């Protein structure tokens, strides 16, 4: 299934101190931008989103994508709520994509030195000295990504034990807290799911926090 050239996908990435937005009709129009907003994310998101989408309109959107975490608790919640509201009002699909999946996919596309068949492990800082870990495998020719080990919370010893006993060769990515630069990969993953006929509703888009913001 192909996207009509007059229709677009829009992605929101808010799981870090940065805001990432991307819009694409997967033909000639492809824009993406990030802003380092910090604590101003909640107050500036809607204005920046309204400005970014122009000259396209909300009615031009065929589907939405949002980073569901892991990442900042507050940022993730803001992004999910915004995306769910838009998808409900516009009555279009909403794809909630793992933050680490977008990072892994971007790394594979941008790093041809990673051998084919190599798994991609992503390690991301969490609160209180813990980490988030996940492992993926990209589909042939970069057409998608397969989750081998979903996002989970580990202490460093647990994660190292997991990697030590992983059966396949892997490439390890140390993700920082500024993940919005992968917003284009987030949108590409959603588009691939859309092409396969998936049609998730706004109610299915749930955040992955992984841990409580306070003990």
CB atoms within 10 A of CB 179: 28
- Both 110 and 165 in one domain: the answer is yes
Whether residue 85 is contained in a domain is answered as: yes
Q: What is the pLDDT of residue 111?
A: 86
What CATH number is given to the structural domain containing 31? 3.30.420.40
> Is position 3 within any domain?
no
Q: What are phi and psi of 131, to 5 degrees?
A: -135, 155
- Matching residue, tokens 């807290």: 177
Judgement on whether residues 167 and 196 belong to the same structural domain of the protein: no
Considering the domain architecture, whether residues 87 and 142 belong to the same structural domain is answered as no
DSSP code, position 165? T
In a domain, 139, yes or no: yes
Same domain, 94 and 108: no
pLDDT in tens, 8-25: 999 999 999 999 999 999
Domain count across the chain: 2
Looking at the chain, which runs of residues are DSSP E strands? 8-13, 18-24, 30-36, 61-67, 94-97, 119-125, 131-138, 145-154, 170-174
Q: Say yes or no: 17 and 54 in one domain.
A: yes
pLDDT tens for each residue of 96-119: 999 999 999 999 888 888 887 889
CA distance 70 to 153: 9
Structure tokens, 38: 């910090």
90 and 104 fall within a common domain = no
Q: What's the average pLDDT block by block, 10 residues per block, for the chain (215 residues)?
A: 85 96 93 94 95 97 97 94 98 98 92 86 93 89 82 96 96 90 96 94 94 56
Residue 161 sits in the same domain as residue 141: yes
Residue 160 included in any domain: yes
* Statement to judge: residues 92 and 158 lie in one domain: no
Q: Which domain holds residue 122?
A: 100-174
Q: Do residues 79 and 95 touch, judged by C-beta distance below 8 A?
A: no
In-domain check, residue 215: no
CATH code at 110? 3.30.420.200
Quote the crossing angle between the two packed helices 41-52 and 73-90, to the nearest 10°.
Answer: 40
- What is the DSSP secondary-structure string of 108-140? HHH-TTSPTT-EEEEEEE-STT-EEEEEEEEPG
Question: Read out DSSP for 156-173?
Answer: HHHHHHHHHT-SS-EEEE
Q: Alpha-carbon distance 203 to 94, whole Å?
A: 9
């Amino acid at each position: 299934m192909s996207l009509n050239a007059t229709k677009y996908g829009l992605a929101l990435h808010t799981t870090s101190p940065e805001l990432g937005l991307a819009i694409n009709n997967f033909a000639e129009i492809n824009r993406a931008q990030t802003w380092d907003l910090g604590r101003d994310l909640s107050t500036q998101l809607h204005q920046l989103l309204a400005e970014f989408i122009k000259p396209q309109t909300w009615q031009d959107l065929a589907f939405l994508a949002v980073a569901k975490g892991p990442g900042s608790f507050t940022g993730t919640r803001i992004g999910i709520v915004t995306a769910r509201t838009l998808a409900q009002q516009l009555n279009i699909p909403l794809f909630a994509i793992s933050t680490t999946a977008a990072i892994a996919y971007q790394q594979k596309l941008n790093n041809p030195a990673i051998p084919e068949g190599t798994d991609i492990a992503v390690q991301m800082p969490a609160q209180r000295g813990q980490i988030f870990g996940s492992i993926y495998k990209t589909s042939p020719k970069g057409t998608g990504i397969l989750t081998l080990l979903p996002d989970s919370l580990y202490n460093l010893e647990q994660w190292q034990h997991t990697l030590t006993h992983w059966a396949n060769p892997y490439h390890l990515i140390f993700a920082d807290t500024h993940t919005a630069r992968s917003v284009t990969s987030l949108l590409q993953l959603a588009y691939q799911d859309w092409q396969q006929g998936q049609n998730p509703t706004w109610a299915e888009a749930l955040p992955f926090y992984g841990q409580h913001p306070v003990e």
